């Protein structure tokens, strides 16, 4: 079972597997995945790895995702991008008009006119 990092778990796992002969190789892959921490295990399983090397690589990536340093980095970046105004000032703001052309053409007919035309034909 993984108690520390994925690297340490992989080293311990390979030391154990060198003592025994497990066949087929899919059973070895399943043993590795089952021993991972639950959050990492779920993410690795969702990627359907077919080789042990792929499962180890995914486990290392997901471990990085869940480490506190990653969360700390995310939170510090979030604080830098936080909006400088309060929620009460949001409703009083006006949205500036864009200088860019619209992505879709503007229809010539208003929606209510279209609805009236459709009802005449029914």
pLDDT in tens, 32-66: 999 999 999 999 999 999 999 999 999 999 999 88
Q: Please compute the mean of the pLDDT values over residues 77-90 and round it to a whole number.
A: 53
Residue 54 lies in a domain: yes
Please, are residues 83 and 60 in contact by the beta-carbon 8 Å criterion? Answer: no
Work out how many domains the chain is built from and give that number. 1
Look over the chain and give the mean of its residue pLDDT values, rounded to a whole number: 77
Residues 67 and 71: their CA atoms lie apart, in Å, by 7
Residue 112 lies in a domain: no
Helices 52-66 and 38-46 pack at an angle, to 10 degrees, of: 130
Q: Which is more confident, 85 or 102?
A: 102
**pTM for this one?**
0.55
Domain span at 53: 6-80
Residue 56 lies in a domain: yes
């Amino acid at each position: 079972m993984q108690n520390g990092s994925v690297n340490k778990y992989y080293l311990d796992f390979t030391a154990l597997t060198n003592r025994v002969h497990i066949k087929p190789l899919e059973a070895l892959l399943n043993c590795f995945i089952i021993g991972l921490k639950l959050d990492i295990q779920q993410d690795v399983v969702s990627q359907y790895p077919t080789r042990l090397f792929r499962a180890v690589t995914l486990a290392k990536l997901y471990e990085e995702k869940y480490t506190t340093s990653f969360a700390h980095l995310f939170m510090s970046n979030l604080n830098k991008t936080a909006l400088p105004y309060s929620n009460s000032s949001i409703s009083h703001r006006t949205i500036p008009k864009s200088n860019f052309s619209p992505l879709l053409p503007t229809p010539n007919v208003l929606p209510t006119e279209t609805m009236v035309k459709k009802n005449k034909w029914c």
